[in-house]
């Protein structure tokens, strides 16, 4: 139970790394961590696979132009 915040922090780092959102320094440190711990490297590979699967295999629904126009009007009217 005490490891949950640590695991969440690791999950955040993995997600940021895969999204290329870490600073250069943090990225280099994380790469070093991956080299020292094959389990982290495996988790990164799994996250990359999952994100790629979602991006390429899950079909996106088409949105009607009327819906887009209505949303844009609502945004404009509240600004």
> Which residues, at least 6 apart from 12, have a Cβ–Cβ distance to it below 8 Å?
none
Element at 60 (helix H, strand E): none
Burial level of 43, CB count in 10 A (0-12/13-18/19+)?
middle
Q: Structure pTM?
A: 0.66
10-60: pLDDT as tens digits: 999 999 999 999 999 999 999 999 999 999 999 999 999 999 999 999 998
């Amino acid at each position: 139970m005490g490891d949950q915040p640590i695991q969440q922090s690791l999950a955040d780092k993995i997600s940021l790394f895969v999204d290329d959102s870490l600073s250069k320094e943090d990225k280099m440190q994380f790469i070093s961590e991956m080299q020292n711990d094959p389990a982290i490297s495996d988790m990164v590979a799994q996250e990359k696979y999952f994100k790629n699967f979602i991006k390429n295999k899950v079909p996106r629904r088409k949105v009607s132009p009327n819906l887009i126009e209505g949303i844009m009007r609502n945004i404009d009217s509240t600004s």
